[in-house]
Chains A and B, each alone.
Chain A
Amino acid sequence: MNRESLRETLSAVMDNEADELELRRVLAAGGEPELQATWSRYQIARAAMHGEYFAPGLNIAAGVSAALAEEPAPSRSGVGAPLWRGIGRVAIAASVTVAVLAGVRFYNQDALDGAQMAQQSAQPAATASSAAPIAQGPAVLASYNPSGEATLAVPVDHEAQLTAEDQRLLDYVRQHARQAGSGAESTLPHARAASLENR
């Protein structure tokens, strides 16, 4: 399968005209790292477009939590369509991995607070393990292993500095947010801008 047809399929995906299986066929046929990478990026865009999970961005931890929280409970009974369930689970796990690998490391104190909040709300009983990830340095973001099929344990360096690339993007996000509102709702953009100021 050549690059052009891959792109066509990808654009069909973006227009909601292709299904998951078609995409998987393309991926299987491709196999090259570059094609895989392109697919991964579009997978993020597609997932975001479908609102399936909040793409990585500034708060990977919360994104991961959200993705995991939204995952339907795996069925162990084997009744119904186990194949589909399996695909769904792997697909979600893959999207989470991509989120972490391709995510921009926009960490700041603020984002960490949010991450802890999200984790706590998702797992109120697990406060002991998520209480002090900053003090403990690299922390495990998420770990999910319901039946030994899909595992995710990604160490993340909370003290990671912004790269020049991330800083450039953040500058633009701020500039976008700080411009005057469009008139219909003037305070909301200012609130948005204000939430970007603390680092």
Chain B
Amino acid sequence: MRFIPCLLAGALLSPLAQGAESQNWLLRLQEAEQRQEFQGVFVYERNGSFSSHEIHRQVREGQVREHIQQLDGVFHESLRTNGQLECMTGPRYEQIMENQADGLRRVQPRTLAQWYDIRTAGQSRVAGRETVVLSLRPRDQHRYGFELYLDRETALPLKSLLLNEHGQPLERFQYVVFEPVEQPKLQAGQACRPVTNREVRSLEEQAWRSEWLPAGFSLTRIVEQRTVREDAPVAWLVYGDGLARFSVFLEPWREGLSIDQRSQLGPTAAVSRRLATDQGDLLVTVIGEIPLGTAERVALSIRSGSGVMLQ
């Protein structure tokens, strides 16, 4: 019976080695996101939209600056520093400043492997460059899968597909030109309107909660803001599993709001429903890159926690 352990070891070894290799690629990817400078052109495609964009990314003294400009249709550009919008074409926009810990939170590939089956699925070429294909298959039906085509040289994703449970793509992000250059020229135009800081009220973590969450999703943000259009209070909660994210918006019910609303924009599901609480009726809106059924279930599970009122 001595061969059985050998067989077992043999059977176990390859997936383990596989796992180690793919997780190593993910670590390299995370590092590259913070360090690698480049310029390129990518296309983004989802149900109902196909657009091409030029991108420049610069890293100076630990600050990652990224400029994106749309090349087709209506002109649009945006400039971000460490993921925060600095300026953007279009109407005036206020955004909420991130905590460092929030926006740049890194998730260990090991943790990610609890929710996704991560494997190297082969090799391919994207934008004329050699890539390694990583497949991240969800371990449950509450999230979508990813296919990442990582540049062999820089480990940055040159192509990324979000896949539903049948393996059909919900969105495609893909470079057609990618050049890892040093000191790329990065300049925002006149039309790039500075983004201002939005006033928010901080909330306790327990102010609102969801009785049900898909495994691995945790709260990464909870604030209260006011809507620009109606000046009404809205609580904003963000949950993530390290890869997928969804937002929950809570506002007091008022006449004219719909009771139930569902829609799907490419990879993004949106569910609104009326929720009766002891503080009166609220409207819960769940938005994220998760299956519609998951969003629905979260919307049904939101409860008021520490008796906080929307102000």
Mark A residues whose CB is within 8 Å of B: 14, 16, 41, 44-46, 48-51, 54-59, 62-63, 66, 102-104, 106, 109-111, 113-115, 117-118, 164-165, 167-169, 171-173, 175-199
Q: Are B287 and A172 neighbours in the complex by a CB distance under 8 Å? A: yes
Q: Is B154 part of the binding interface, using a Cβ–Cβ cutoff of 8 Å?
A: no
Interface string of B82-119 (1 = CB under 8 A from A): 11110011100101101000111111000010000000
CA distance A171 to B268 in the complex (A): 13
Contacts of B168 in A (CB 8 A): 51
What are 5 A-B pairs with beta-carbon distances under 8 A?
Answer: A41-B262, A49-B294, A176-B268, A187-B157, A191-B44
Smallest CB separation, B268 vs chain A (Å): 6
Smallest CB separation, A99 vs chain B (Å): 10
Q: Is B265 part of the binding interface, using a Cβ–Cβ cutoff of 8 Å?
A: yes
Q: Which 9 A-B pairs have the closest CB atoms?
A: A59-B48, A180-B83, A49-B293, A180-B103, A48-B292, A114-B48, A57-B263, A55-B264, A57-B264
Contact stretch, chosen from B4-12, B69-77, B274-282: B69-77
Given A46-B293, A114-B49, A198-B74 contact (CB < 8 Å): yes
Q: Is B21 part of the binding interface, using a Cβ–Cβ cutoff of 8 Å?
A: no
Mark B residues whose CB is within 8 Å of A: 26, 29-30, 33, 42, 44, 46-51, 53, 55, 57, 64, 66, 68, 70, 73-74, 76, 78, 80, 82-85, 88-90, 93, 95-96, 98, 102-107, 112, 141, 148, 157, 160, 164-166, 168, 170-171, 173, 220-221, 227-229, 236, 238, 240, 242-243, 245-247, 249, 256-258, 260-272, 285, 287-288, 291-294, 296-297
Q: Which of B42, B242, B246, B258 is packed against the most chain A CB atoms within 10 Å?
A: B258
A-B pairs with CB below 8 Å: how many? 227
Q: Is the interface of A mostly helix, strand, loop or mixed?
A: helix
Q: Assuming A176-B247, A184-B243, what are 14 further A-B pairs, CB within 8 angstroms?
A: A51-B164, A51-B291, A54-B47, A59-B47, A62-B48, A63-B264, A114-B47, A114-B48, A183-B107, A185-B243, A186-B33, A192-B267, A195-B51, A196-B265
Which partner residue on chain B sits nearest A53 by CB separation? B264
- Contact check: which of B47, B240, B249 meets A182 at CB < 8 Å? B240
Contacts of B173 in A (CB 8 A): 187-188, 191
CA distance A189 to B171 in the complex (A): 11
Given A104-B261, A183-B105, A172-B247 contact (CB < 8 Å): yes
CA distance A49 to B269 in the complex (A): 11
Q: Are B293 and A58 neighbours in the complex by a CB distance under 8 Å? A: no
Which partner residue on chain A sits nearest B44 by CB separation? A191
